[in-house]
């Protein structure tokens, strides 16, 4: 007899044979509804699947509980087929908010995208990018010569931002991390910590000669001229974690790794 939870669950996977097989067994035990009809999404995969799933629920607010079938699984819980209803009933919630990215391309086209981890600008040729950085209408860096630059949320501060030697931010901190990627000039600049109310504008210099792309999580736009980024609290996503393994705890623990 199937173990029926009070919530309507939809199971999604990263498409691997192991995750698909586990999802089939879970559906037999706990039932399954269509993604759009779910009260809880259970994602079987890694952080990539979690990020994709969170983007899918961005406008609905449906919480997501991940079980790790990937390599890192920073945002995932340990996998178990047993007691899923009980685990879901005692989860700890973490809500995170995205960054809104507005892009103006060199052709004059305007685009928008949302990012839960970070907005990144990258050089698209062999030449370094030249980027002006404006915070709240005030130029803070006239010209950053670099491979790129990124603005990360607290949730994203342990991802690419950390690899680029940016600071780890507490998950509930009202802050954003502004971090250069392989800076050449000014060589000693290592970035800044900004209020989450800040509006950051990046203007590319010599855009035709030094093309730059802009990426919001996994959405990329080529040949950008200006990129404006701000936190958007009209959207939000909820992650569910087993007790004692919250995202807050994971971010804190990451700061003591050596």
- Digit-coded pLDDT (tens) for 152-179: 999 999 999 999 999 999 988 999 999 9
Cα 101–chain centre separation? 13
Rounded Cα–Cα distance for residues 147 and 212 (Å): 9
Q: 3-state class of 91 per DSSP? A: coil
3-state secondary structure of 226: strand
- Judging by beta carbons within 10 Å of its beta carbon (0-12, 13-18, 19+), is residue 241 exposed, middle or buried? buried
Mean pLDDT for all residues in the chain = 93
The domain locations on the chain are 9-96+236-254, 99-231
Catalytic residue (one of 36, 37, 47, 82):
47
Residue 65: band (very low, low, confident or very high) from pLDDT cuts 50, 70, 90: very high
- Is residue 169 within 8 A of residue 177, CB to CB? The reply is yes
Of 10, 114, 6, residue with least CA distance to 65: 10
d(Cα 252, Cα 238) in Å, to the nearest integer?
Answer: 19
The predicted-structure confidence for 185-213, as pLDDT tens digits, reads as follows 998 899 999 999 999 999 999 999 999 99
At residue 1 the predicted structure's pLDDT band, cuts being 50, 70 and 90, is: very low
- Across 95-123, average pLDDT: 96
Angle at 84 between CA 80 and CA 85, to 5 degrees: 170
SS3 for 196?
coil
Taking Cα atoms as reference points, which of 234, 251, 235 lies closest to residue 177?
251
pTM for the model: 0.89
In terms of Cα–Cα distance, which of 11, 12, 10, 14 is closest to 70? 14
Is the separation of the CB atoms in 248 and 168 below 8 Å?
no
36 a catalytic residue: no
Work out the pLDDT band at 6, boundaries 50, 70, 90: low
Could you tell me which CATH number the domain at 99-231 has?
A: 2.60.200.30
State the Cα–Cα distance between residues 118 and 100, nearest whole angstrom: 10
User: What homologous superfamily does CATH list for 9-96+236-254?
Assistant: Probable inorganic polyphosphate/atp-NAD kinase; domain 1 (3.40.50.10330)
Annotated binding site: 47-48, 117-118, 147, 155, 158-163
């Amino acid at each position: 007899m199937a173990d029926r939870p009070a919530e309507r669950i939809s199971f999604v996977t990263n498409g691997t044979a192991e995750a698909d097989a586990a999802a089939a067994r879970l559906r037999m035990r706990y039932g399954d509804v269509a993604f759009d009809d779910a009260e809880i999404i259970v994602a079987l995969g890694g952080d990539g699947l979690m990020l994709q799933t969170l983007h899918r629920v961005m406008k609905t607010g449906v919480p997501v509980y991940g079980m790790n079938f990937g390599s890192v699984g920073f945002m995932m819980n340990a996998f178990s087929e047993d007691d899923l209803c009980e685990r879901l009933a005692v989860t700890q919630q973490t809500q995170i908010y995205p960054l809104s990215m507005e892009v103006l391309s060199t052709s004059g086209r305007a685009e928008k995208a949302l990012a839960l981890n970070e907005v990144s600008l990258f050089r698209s040729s062999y030449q370094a990018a030249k980027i002006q950085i404006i915070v709240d209408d005030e130029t803070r860096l006239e010209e950053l010569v670099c491979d790129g630059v990124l603005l990360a949320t607290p949730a994203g501060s342990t991802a690419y931002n950390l690899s680029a030697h940016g600071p780890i931010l507490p998950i509930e901190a009202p802050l954003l991390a502004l971090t250069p990627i392989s800076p050449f000039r000014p060589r000693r600049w290592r970035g800044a910590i900004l209020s989450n109310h800040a509006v950051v504008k990046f203007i590319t210099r010599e855009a035709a000669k030094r093309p730059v792309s802009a990426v919001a999580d996994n959405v990329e736009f080529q040949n950008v001229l200006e990129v404006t980024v701000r936190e958007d609290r009209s959207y939000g996503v909820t992650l569910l974690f087993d007790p004692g393994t919250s995202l807050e705890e994971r971010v804190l623990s990451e700061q003591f790794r050596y």
